[in-house]
Chain A
């Protein structure tokens, strides 16, 4: 199962009005971009985890994102140490790999505490961002999303194009896996045991069937949608109606206040840590 797929459930997050969810998603994304203080970020991440728990979304996904981001963070920290010197808390002193005489990039070899924290903050920020998106996508069906967009004033054709395109991503992920499995079943081992170049070449061979496949799929989807009279009328009716319930408003306002608080603390505390 893919990270953007709808995750069946009946939690409060699932039942929340998609419009409120959408607005909060945008708001939270912006806030996470703004905040730079380590402790505020940790608080924010903890809150996001809490929402995951409420929506009963699989926690193992977060572990997966973490593993992926950890290597990125390590890379950033090393990069920072090797090529930039700022801050005044040296932690590890290394011999400069590029001699002093080379201007700008030469003479650096120190990993500063600042560098580590910078890497951590960036990593945590990315992790939080990555965890916010699924809270929406995994708890909202395509038709709810589309209806939400329509009710927010979007033309229904664009609303459906956007949402079905989003839905194509998990399908493509599945397709990738299927092609890889099919190749493995025919004894193709480059994905696991190949040398770097072989692996690279193996992934390139994936691209062609994937691109062709997704274009075909998109076209068929178009056929199926038009074949069911999509776009025949100026407007369209909906099976479900959205009704903004009091608790959705309360929850929305609460999260907004929280965001203001978070931004305020971030400004007061300042910096990275």
Chain B
């Protein structure tokens, strides 16, 4: 396993704008990692996700400084179509990326561009449809799907190409709790079974706490922290500064502390199971004290 994404002093400003939307980014992502990108609205998450396959700057224009190397290739100097074979980017707006008239055509489009044999194409469509649970919908019109189904369709369309790196921009913004859980489950299995590197821009703290290896926190285009969920979600000061919500159980621990309890910061729970232990200890400690 080596470094698969490396940003070196990368900055970007949109055309006809003076301010940099991404400022001097320096980071490395290892192969097979699951990275979450967090930050408030307008922090630059979507802009960054589009830099990985070169949509920024190729299609939007603007000015770049530095570069991002993706699998050894500079994404700013390579054609999007070539980058697309390494990086699959699922955009924020599902409507904008569905352009065929049938769900299975939508899924076929990317794989067909890779010049794979027909049997393989059919196989992969079946697989991707199953993964996102759209089995009964293959002959439906993508524009006639619900918001959540559209998002799954967009994910499957990219997934079917089996890229080395998947980048997803708020892939669960319109999904119900079960749908959200399923998508994160899929992402996790991609990572585990195929060694895929995954980068997800999302606000779903609970799922990130469970699945992500590291969290990149963006604030006004700068990386203000890039560390494990354990470190990030226990840093209440940082979180309130960047307007990122911690998992509810971590927030509970911080609240209990502010109410006079004494939970060590390194014990702040991230998952429900961890919270159970912490709370049992609290109750136990209280009853022992009596």
A interface residues, Cβ below 8 angstroms from B: 6, 8, 141-143, 164, 167, 217, 219-233, 235-239, 241
Contacts and interface: CB of A to CB of B under 8 A. Distances in A.
Interface centre among A220, A221, A239 (most CB of B within 10 A): A239
B201 interface: no
Contacts of B84: 226-229, 232
Contacts of A167: 99, 101
Nearest to B116: A237
Given A167-B99, A228-B109, A238 B59 contact: no
B11 interface: no
A6 B141 contact: yes
A174 to B, nearest CB: 8
Interface centre among A8, A143, A231, A241 (most CB of B within 10 A): A143
B118 A228 contact: no
Nearest to A171: B143
Contact of A224 (B99, B114, B125): B99
Given A222-B59, A223-B55, A239-B108, A230 B96 contact: no
Contacts of B79: 226
Interface of B: 50, 53, 55, 59, 79-82, 84-85, 88-89, 91, 93, 96-102, 104-105, 108-118, 121-122, 125, 139, 141, 157-158, 161
Nearest to A234: B115
Given A228-B110, A235-B115, A221 B102 contact: no
Contacts of B55: 223, 226-227
B125 A239 contact: yes
A58 B109 CA distance: 30
Given A143-B105, A228-B158, A232-B81, A239 B122 contact: yes
A239 B89 contact: no
Given A228-B161, A241-B118, A236 B113 contact: yes
B80 A226 contact: yes
Given A229-B113, A229-B161, A239-B112, A142 B91 contact: no
B102 to A, nearest CB: 6
Nearest to A6: B101
B102 A141 contact: yes
9 closest A-B pairs by CB: A228-B110, A224-B97, A220-B96, A229-B84, A226-B80, A232-B81, A229-B113, A239-B108, A143-B105
